[in-house]
Chain A
Amino acid sequence: MIPRSIYILLVIAALRAQTEPVKDIHRNDPRVWALTHAMVHTEPGDSIKDGTVIIRDGQIEKVGRYIQIPLDAYEIDMEGAHLYAGFIDGWLQIKKDEKVKSPDDHWNEKIRAEYRAKDDLKLKEKELKALHSIGITAAHVVPEQGIFKGKSDLVILNDDMVSVAKGVSQVLEFKTTGWSDRGYPNSLLGVIAVMRQTFLDAEWYLRSLEIFEKYPEENEPLPLNPSLSELGRYHANRLPILFMTKEEHSALRSLKIAGEFNLNPWLLGSGYEYRRLKEIAEFNPFIIFPLDFPNKPKVNDPHIALQFSNEQLKHWDMAPDNIKKVFDADLRFSFTSGTLKNKKDFRKNLQKITDRGLSQDIALAALTTYPAEAMGVNKTVGKIQPGYIANLVVTDGNYFDSRSRVTSIWLAGKEKYISERHKPIIAGKWELEIDGNAYDMEFFVPNTYTKTEELRQKALTTNKLEGKIKIGDETLNLIDVRISNKVIEFKVKGTLLDLDAMLAFKGEVKKDKFRGEVYDGSKKGLSFNAKRTVSIKPIVREKEIASSTVLYQPEGAYGLDKDLLSPNAILIDNANIWTCGPKGIVEEWDILFVNGKVDKIAPDISVPMGSALVIDGLGKYVTPGLIDCHSHSAASSINEGAQAVTAEVRIRDVLFADDVNIYRQLGGGLTTANVLHGSANPIGGQNAVIKLRWGSGPEGLIYKNAPQGIKFALGENVTQANWAGTGRYPQTRMGVEQVIRDAFRAAQDYRHRHKTYERNSKAQRKTIPPRKDLELEALAEILEGTRLLHCHSYRQDEIWMLTRIAEDFGFTIATFQHVLEGYKVAERLAEHGAGASTFSDWWQYKYEVIDAIPYNGTIMANNDVLVSFNSDDAELARRMNTEAMKAVKYGNLSEEEALHFVTINPAKQLKIDKWVGSLEEGKDADFVIWDGPPLSIYSKVQETWIEGTRYWSIDENAQLEERDKTERKDLIQKILSSKTSSYGKEMKPNGQTPQHHHNCLIDDDDLMGM
């Protein structure tokens, strides 16, 4: 896709010269050149040996082998040189953004789509030189601040910094600033919501402008918002929207947004694309890859090695293959040196990827034609062809052999010196001829430099040599051999010429010959010649090979390396089945699952031989998969707390399918979880009900049958009572009540506004439409009964209060969460019809839970409240069965009824009981096989199935443990014995998984449930 509407400025320095007054006297350097006898790589896959390039006024006029050199062109002999089209660096981020503030700015200073990065482009001489020295002649200049950062330009890195493409892309970042930032948004949740709302706003703004311009008298003036109008232009014209990604997860998130708004997505690559390549490739994004690979993890100390996760060790091994895999997936990309501190590492890493299988032509394309095409300048940049801007890279060898040197670059027709060519290698055998006599002469690397290959190589290329001459049987050493540039000097004892003197040789090297004069203090003018007889072979570099490590889903320990067991039919024979349905508990019955559903539960079921997987259930117990009505597992972001009302944020945007807690909780029999926003604000974000489908992507976790919901919160967390707080309104329970009432009133007004507009066709034509507001949409859905409200609460007063608000607005609360004083107002809960999702036995941690009692669940259940127990904690979530048992211990509930607290009751609370929560014919085949009574701490999960697929088994778990142990050992061994190095960032060790105890702590970014 070439965005046609990008300005293409074929404006070369000359234009500026036309407008700028002369400071002293006119300078008019000649601007016509003929570069001859070079290896001209005109474009990827095409080159001309002994070619000529004619440059005139900054542009390429002619290219070819046998072309006539114009009379006015000055010829430069480029014998031995390679010429490439100037390289493009895909990502040059400006350092200091000095955007001028304006009253027209978007209200949110993180949205600055009108800003143009090039305005603040300042490069130090050193930085510029570093880029030039690796052949970069143009760079994609991108902005730095905010979420909607602004616009990028493709800029020629010459003195005038000419933009060849203006406004190439809008750059977006998932920039999270954490709790210290009071500006909304400060979390990933909020950032994504802001992106979504802002694209909507931009659409709306463009439409409104149009209407306003037509009917100015019918409308209130529309405030200027350059940010929205710029973004609207990009969106409407499908100009590139460039998302910065940190790992594969943010790539998927970017592309999801791109899909929603039909954007033309670009990515700043992370190097992790290979992990979710299939999903990424579907959207065909153009990717800018930092050529940056992880350093070797420090594993020589076994204890430090523990700090690295398996997926990190694997990433070290696999990262340099990423780009090749992305190419094989048919995506196009560009490279950047942007993240490299030492720009010289760029070429080393480039060589690494070509060694590992990416062809040099593709690598060259990624440096030239791919980005040129993506940026819509493929007619002027990226090739050595007539009409193209004369940006060139001159090297003394193949650029993709990192030992070659960039000797100069041409920027819009002006050459800039970079470095000397490699010196000719003198080492080897020569024939020396003096006065018609021939002698064998040899130059070689002295012993002091032969210790390592590297030293030897260095001595060879810099000509740090010793030499000797043979005369018959006698060998004379050359004394004081000195080779600098093209001059070679040495001394030999006069015996060579039968003289009693010291002979001084001095000559000039030209290719495989050198000639000069011998001087002994008296005799003058004795000349010599030497020609090479045997040249030394260059050392063959050991090439890296592509990794053979197997990728798992998700990558890392316990990831899947094969398909899960998923038979059409499963029959469990003679098991104790706790159905949690009308059949209650049946002993030694059979249960048949077909096509992911419960087919039959009966005393005896027979199926034709081989038509079902038969599991012997004798002595085993089968229950429905357990359901956790309050979880924060499998999410990358929990709270957007910068505002009191954030109904627009959605947990489903930040689901994290790689969370190992999914796997661990499957091992505890959990199959469904209600992943909630935290409790940082009265009206939090939208929840996601997931099934624990380990191995799927984030979208695959979502349980599509579950109705949408939202999290509210009351009490100390939202009034910020237990920490310094940010002073955000509300700071009291009185204020909390008002915030909630106010939000619902606003939602009513909002719906009213939209409905009136929709009914009025004249208004639709002439007046600015009401804006779609995702926050109010979600709130209105609550009022309409299509969005379930789950509310974090503790004290009876606040519980009572919210039921009254709900009744005033005519809807029912789905669940109160925690609801530790629910037992005090059970009759109210029952009357209102709210479910109660509580803790088994937690209390004491803060003032509002001082009256928490472990009998809470039982008392509420005995008062006709629908009760569930939840975890709110990654560890508790894998032992929901023993949590349920606490209702037996403290409330004397039957074990069967207690099991309902973690199966059918939460299913009912989440309005998914039609499909899950009990074993009944027609419901999902979500079940757990236990080796003993399900609530007993002494029973262990044997297998956990979701919709007829086995996601966890105790045997498989043992195998995975063993597999990962072995893999870990092998990888560490590979790292220890690896001789190559990578150039780039060090990985932050992430071996330790966070230990969330009851998700209640205020840590750096999250204030969660409790």
Chain B
Amino acid sequence: MRSVSLLFLISIVLSNDQIPGADQKRPILLRGGTLHTVSGDVLEKYDLLFAEGKIITIDERIQPSPETDVYEIFGKHVVPGYVAGYTRIGLTEISAVKQTNDHSEVGDINPNVRANVAYNPDSDLIPVTRSNGVLVVNSAPSSGRISGQSSVMMMDGWTWEDATMKHPAALNLNWPNMNFDFRKNIKKNEKTQRAEYIETIRKIDHLIRNVRAYHHRRNAKERKAEHKQESDLRLESMIPFIIYKEPIHVKANDIRQIEAAVNWANDQDLNIVILGGRDSWINPELLVKNNIPVILLGVQVTPRRRFEPIHLPYKLPAMLHEAGVHFCISLNPGYPMDGHVRTLPDEAMKALSWGLTEDQALRSITLSAAEILGVDEQIGSLEPGKDATFFIAESEPLTQTTNPIKAFIQGRELDLSDRQKNLWEKYKEKYRRLGRLTE
């Protein structure tokens, strides 16, 4: 047993690029912390033991074995790593610079493109984001009609393969616009717009039929050599989602889109998740009845319509929870929000402020997100058997000023420095030399 002072372990911020965490070699016992298990109660003065990247035991008092490092964390909080349900982390560096953007493939139908293979593990966004406790993100392609496959990524690793937690996480589909302009004196009249919409859906339906046929023919037992189905990456890539009903994330904010997407999923017998869901308060029953989860993209946003209650978006999570809709909170990516994933806890706090319970608020950016992304076996809560992916902070998690002092992903301790802290340090030195800073 080796007792280690936590102060000593606070990451050294003078490192340059952040070096990925080393695999956990020795078991670590966190002693006496407040454990926000999320799956269960908040356990005060509890011990948590993790080894080889997994949580082993959580108990009031755990006797450490001799090879265990023990961290005394009395009064400190252990929180499962936050999970952002929809981001472009790793796929963009500077939103306005095209060369750094890898989230939008050309064309409408790109089910075969995979987010994780383009995930840049050395992106500066990763350390900045995880500094606020966001340890796992779903990185998603976002262009066209079918954008591609998203991947659940850990915010640590030497390569994208190291960092991949789950792939594919989901197929991303942007539901077509249904906000038809029905004025008479416009170029494209309502009828044409509707026809175009229907045509779009028909194309998707045909694509799905082709996927089923492709799968069928590929698996047909009796076939002659010359009858071989030749390969089609697009169709093949959709098999998990169409045949095995892996989730499809459908971006839909307008109530008409939401309702249409749900009906479509029922007709096609597919599993979907609503991405966005700004209007979901209008018909939450539909989502409950069909057991369709929602990834909300932002709580701190302005209402869509002037006549809506001004705090409606703030209250939306509470409304969905009350109605029984399964949801999690993420942020709306895109310029200038791509680098703003670190504010995820703020969104949950706002929801808590406007009626969501404390348990649910924390859950909405941890376990609920993990469940919707299908990674709740590994992360999202503090439970024996799950990954040791959590952070330690001096204060309650849903507090505005909370800064993680230590974080682990699968037991690997993270370097919590980042580009911004480094710049801070650099310029402290400038002002020290100018005699403007005495520290």
A interface vs B, CB < 8 Å? Answer: 298, 303-304, 306-307, 309-311, 556-558, 660-661, 663-664, 667, 716, 722, 823-824, 826-827, 841-847, 850-855, 859, 862-863, 874-875, 878-879, 882, 885-886, 888-889, 935-938, 940, 957, 961, 964-965, 968, 985-989, 991-993, 995, 997-998, 1000-1001, 1010
Contact B95–A845 (Cβ < 8 Å): yes
Q: Select from chain B the residue with minimum beta-carbon distance to A854.
A: B420
Q: Which 3 A-B residue pairs are closest in the complex by CB-CB distance?
A: A844-B339, A845-B336, A846-B96
Give the chain A neighbours of B344 by CB distance below 8 A. Answer: none
CA distance A852 to B340 in the complex (A): 12
CB distance from A730 to the nearest CB of B (A): 19
Contacts A306-B255, A986-B182; is A850 near B400 (CB within 8 Å)?
A: no
Q: Select from chain A the residue with minimum beta-carbon distance to B279.
A: A306
The one of A845, A859, A998 that contacts B424, using a Cβ cutoff of 8 Å:
A859
Contacts A664-B310, A874-B302; is A841 near B343 (CB within 8 Å)?
A: yes
Contact A303–B256 (Cβ < 8 Å): yes
Interface: B434 (CB within 8 A): yes
The one of A310, A863, A886, A940 that contacts B306, using a Cβ cutoff of 8 Å:
A310
CB distance from B285 to the nearest CB of A (A): 15
CA distance A885 to B424 in the complex (A): 19
Contacts A309-B306, A992-B304; is A847 near B97 (CB within 8 Å)?
A: yes
Contact B310–A663 (Cβ < 8 Å): yes
Give the chain B neighbours of A886 by CB distance below 8 A. Answer: 400
Contact B434–A827 (Cβ < 8 Å): yes
Contacts A879-B300, A993-B302; is A845 near B256 (CB within 8 Å)?
A: no
CA distance A965 to B305 in the complex (A): 13
Interface: B436 (CB within 8 A): yes
Mostly, the B contact residues are loop
Q: Select from chain B the residue with minimum beta-carbon distance to A994.
A: B302
**Stretch of B7-15, B26-34, B37-45, B347-355 at the chain-chain interface:** B347-355
Q: B180-192 toward A: CB 8 Å interface, digit per residue (1/0)?
A: 1111110000000
CA distance A596 to B305 in the complex (A): 33
Contact B94–A847 (Cβ < 8 Å): yes
Contact B310–A986 (Cβ < 8 Å): no
Contact B349–A937 (Cβ < 8 Å): yes
CA distance A680 to B418 in the complex (A): 32
Contact A667–B310 (Cβ < 8 Å): yes
Interface: B5 (CB within 8 A): no
Contact B300–A991 (Cβ < 8 Å): no
Give the chain A neighbours of B303 by CB distance below 8 A. Answer: 664, 993
Contact B427–A844 (Cβ < 8 Å): no
Interface band, chain B: 35 or more
CA distance A847 to B311 in the complex (A): 34
CA distance A716 to B181 in the complex (A): 35
Contacts A722-B96, A859-B427, A986-B182; is A991 near B400 (CB within 8 Å)?
A: no
CA distance A296 to B5 in the complex (A): 73
- 26 examples of A-B residue contacts, CB within 8 angstroms: A303-B255, A309-B305, A311-B306, A556-B306, A664-B303, A667-B311, A823-B424, A824-B427, A845-B94, A847-B97, A854-B420, A855-B424, A859-B424, A859-B427, A878-B302, A882-B346, A889-B402, A937-B353, A985-B185, A988-B181, A992-B179, A993-B304, A993-B306, A997-B336, A1000-B336, A1001-B335
Contact A304–B304 (Cβ < 8 Å): no
- Of A667, A855, A878, A985, most buried by chain B (CB within 10 Å of CB) is A855
Contact A991–B96 (Cβ < 8 Å): no
Give the chain A neighbours of B334 by CB distance below 8 A. Answer: 997
Interface residues of B in 249-268 (CB under 8 A from A): 255-256
Give the chain B neighbours of A885 by CB distance below 8 A. Answer: 400-401
B interface vs A, CB < 8 Å? Answer: 93-97, 125, 128, 179-185, 255-256, 300-307, 309-311, 332, 334-340, 342-343, 346, 349-350, 352-353, 400-403, 420-421, 423-424, 427, 430-431, 434, 436-437
CB distance from B201 to the nearest CB of A (A): 17
The one of A851, A875, A957, A998 that contacts B336, using a Cβ cutoff of 8 Å:
A998
Instruction: A859-B427, A992-B305 are known; give 16 further A-B pairs, CB within 8 A.
Output: A309-B306, A558-B306, A660-B306, A824-B430, A841-B342, A846-B96, A846-B97, A853-B420, A855-B420, A875-B301, A879-B300, A882-B346, A937-B350, A937-B353, A938-B352, A938-B353
Contacts A845-B96, A882-B346; is A889 near B125 (CB within 8 Å)?
A: no
Give the chain B neighbours of A846 by CB distance below 8 A. Answer: 94-97, 336
Contacts A844-B125, A875-B302; is A1000 near B335 (CB within 8 Å)?
A: yes
Q: Select from chain A the residue with minimum beta-carbon distance to B401.
A: A889
Contact B336–A842 (Cβ < 8 Å): yes
CB distance from B425 to the nearest CB of A (A): 10
Give the chain B neighbours of A303 by CB distance below 8 A. Answer: 255-256
CB distance from B257 to the nearest CB of A (A): 10
Contact A875–B300 (Cβ < 8 Å): yes
Contact A823–B427 (Cβ < 8 Å): yes
Contacts A309-B306, A882-B400, A998-B336; is A937 near B346 (CB within 8 Å)?
A: yes
CA distance A21 to B331 in the complex (A): 80
Contact B424–A853 (Cβ < 8 Å): yes
Q: Select from chain B the residue with minimum beta-carbon distance to A556.
A: B306
- Of B336, B342, B434, most buried by chain A (CB within 10 Å of CB) is B336
Give the chain A neighbours of B353 by CB distance below 8 A. Answer: 937-938, 940
Give the chain A neighbours of B400 by CB distance below 8 A. Answer: 882, 885-886, 888-889, 935-937
The one of B180, B349, B436 that contacts A863, using a Cβ cutoff of 8 Å:
B436
Contact A991–B306 (Cβ < 8 Å): yes
The one of B301, B343, B346, B420 that contacts A995, using a Cβ cutoff of 8 Å:
B301
CA distance A970 to B349 in the complex (A): 37
The one of B179, B339, B423 that contacts A845, using a Cβ cutoff of 8 Å:
B339
CA distance A925 to B180 in the complex (A): 47
CB distance from A962 to the nearest CB of B (A): 10
Give the chain A neighbours of B338 by CB distance below 8 A. Answer: 844-845
CA distance A886 to B402 in the complex (A): 10
Give the chain B neighbours of A716 by CB distance below 8 A. Answer: 96
CB distance from B426 to the nearest CB of A (A): 9
- Of A874, A968, A993, most buried by chain B (CB within 10 Å of CB) is A993
Q: Select from chain A the residue with minimum beta-carbon distance to B259.
A: A303
Give the chain A neighbours of B183 by CB distance below 8 A. Answer: 985-988
CB distance from A404 to the nearest CB of B (A): 29
Contact B179–A307 (Cβ < 8 Å): yes
Contacts A879-B300, A936-B400; is A991 near B423 (CB within 8 Å)?
A: no
Q: Select from chain B the residue with minimum beta-carbon distance to A840.
A: B343
Contact B305–A991 (Cβ < 8 Å): yes
Contact B336–A557 (Cβ < 8 Å): no
Give the chain A neighbours of B403 by CB distance below 8 A. Answer: 889
CB distance from B309 to the nearest CB of A (A): 5
Contacts A847-B96, A874-B302; is A991 near B307 (CB within 8 Å)?
A: yes
- Of B128, B255, B310, B352, most buried by chain A (CB within 10 Å of CB) is B310
Give the chain A neighbours of B436 by CB distance below 8 A. Answer: 826-827, 863
Give the chain B neighbours of A824 by CB distance below 8 A. Answer: 427, 430
CB distance from B420 to the nearest CB of A (A): 4
Contact B307–A844 (Cβ < 8 Å): no
CB distance from A429 to the nearest CB of B (A): 46
Contacts A722-B96, A846-B96; is A986 near B184 (CB within 8 Å)?
A: yes
CB distance from B247 to the nearest CB of A (A): 26
Contact A957–B310 (Cβ < 8 Å): yes
Contacts A845-B95, A938-B353, A998-B336; is A557 near B307 (CB within 8 Å)?
A: yes
Give the chain B neighbours of A936 by CB distance below 8 A. Answer: 400
Give the chain A neighbours of B346 by CB distance below 8 A. Answer: 882, 937
CB distance from A917 to the nearest CB of B (A): 23
CB distance from A531 to the nearest CB of B (A): 51
CA distance A998 to B334 in the complex (A): 11
Give the chain B neighbours of A859 by CB distance below 8 A. Answer: 424, 427, 431
CA distance A322 to B41 in the complex (A): 63
Contact B304–A995 (Cβ < 8 Å): yes
Contact A993–B305 (Cβ < 8 Å): yes
CB distance from A843 to the nearest CB of B (A): 5
CA distance A854 to B419 in the complex (A): 11
